[in-house]
Amino acid sequence: MKTIAKTKLIAFLEALSDDYRVVVPLQQGTEVEMGELDGGRLAVGYRGKTRFSAKECLFPESEVMLTFDNRGAGAVETTEHTPAEKTAVWGVRPCDLAGMATLDAVFLSPPVDTYYYARRANTLLLGLNCHEVGTSCFCRSFAAGPFASSGFDMIFTDVAERFLVESGSEVGARLLEQHGELFAEAGEADRQEAESLRLAAETAFTTTLDVPALLVALQEAFDDGVWEEQAKKCTLCGTCCIVCPTCHCFNVEDVRKTRKLFQRVRYWDSCQFTGFTRMAAENSRSTQGERWRQKIYDKFVYLPAVYDGLLGCTGCGRCLDLCQGNINIVQVLEKVSHGH
């Protein structure tokens, strides 16, 4: 275990930028959002979570997959846009690291998503433990936080003027070696401080979810009136899926750039949109209650059934913060778990 002074963090990130595109939390007015390294706005000691999750680093909001060029004299030329850029993401919260484990399961299980695979293989994840818990955070209910135990190349813990740093992979260990002049050996006092921060954070949650009770209750809740009841408040905006670190649905479209140039593009979709399951003959989920139920069942029943118990929620709390219909997912799920 090592330490790095907060004043030296920027030097470390700048050194990384020789080999990687570096993405960090940036101060944007009163919010913190992930973006390309900008020393002036780097949110070194930010509290809580970023407004949007860090999933965009592995699964961008939109991306060009293929280009079809028919401008030449011969056959149509097809180019596949496999991502090759190396990226290092610093400051990823434990709830987002856990979300990436869900994305990995979905995109890297056969049939492997080649675009996600390439980006994942080229991405370094430098996590940042949470020592201050937000009012909407409930990651502890999923053992996804406030401190991360896996899923990172390096993990940082904020201890006053410095960070404690541990590697979680060979690449992380190599980076610590390579930039050894910026890091110092951690002492027993550093370790104890981090441990007391962890214990304090674990007891600071004001939002919790009884996940085992929910998983049992959902077995009998498919026809519960709660789904249509919540749907009355839902504005169908899709924000809950956009901000969620585990939501991974996308749409694919062929876009005409010019008469002879086309691009195949994919972009995030949401099961809360009315057109999500619309087909030529009919829409298999025609009411918002059905769409709301689908979101919950996908996260807590269908995904774990396919991916060995892995849940589609990490308790990040973003959908509580940003729901345009003021729906509190935890209150809804607690109602389901404990029979209204």
**Residues binding ligand SF4 (CB under 6 A):** 234-240, 243-246, 272, 313-319, 323-325, 327, 329
User: Tokens 């509290």 belong to which residue?
Assistant: 47
Name the strands in the sheet holding 184-185, side by side, starting at the edge strand that comes first in the sequence: 31-36, 21-28, 87-92, 123-128, 154-159, 162-167, 2-5, 184-185
Strands (E), the chain: 2-5, 21-28, 31-36, 62-69, 77-80, 87-92, 123-128, 154-159, 162-167, 184-185, 250-258, 261-268
Report, in Å, the least distance between residue 325 CB and ligand SF4: 3
Report, in Å, the least distance between residue 49 CB and ligand SF4: 9
CB nearer to ligand SF4: give 9 or 241: 241
Q: How far apart are CA 309 and CA 300, in angstroms?
A: 9
Report, in Å, the least distance between residue 235 CB and ligand SF4: 4
Choose among 332, 121, 92: nearest CA to 209: 332
Report, in Å, the least distance between residue 52 CB and ligand SF4: 10
Report, in Å, the least distance between residue 327 CB and ligand SF4: 5
CB nearer to ligand SF4: give 79 or 324: 324
CB nearer to ligand SF4: give 164 or 271: 271
Largest CA distance in the chain: 71
Cβ–Cβ < 8 Å for 332, 289: no
CB nearer to ligand SF4: give 68 or 142: 142
Q: How far apart are CA 185 and CA 4, in angstroms?
A: 9
Residue 300 has what DSSP assignment?
A: I
Within 8 A by CB and 6+ apart from 73, the residues are none
User: Tokens 């809950």 belong to which residue?
Assistant: 240
CB nearer to ligand SF4: give 78 or 149: 149
CB nearer to ligand SF4: give 164 or 319: 319
CB nearer to ligand SF4: give 1 or 60: 60
CB nearer to ligand SF4: give 125 or 313: 313
Report, in Å, the least distance between residue 258 CB and ligand SF4: 36
CB nearer to ligand SF4: give 60 or 169: 60
How do strand 21-28 and strand 87-92 relate by DSSP bridges?
parallel
Report, in Å, the least distance between residue 278 CB and ligand SF4: 16
Report, in Å, the least distance between residue 85 CB and ligand SF4: 27
Cβ–Cβ < 8 Å for 103, 132: no
The rounded Cα 44 to chain-centroid distance in angstroms is 20
Report, in Å, the least distance between residue 104 CB and ligand SF4: 15
Q: Compute the 3-state secondary structure of the chain and give helix, strand, coil in percent, each to the nearest 5.
A: 35, 20, 40
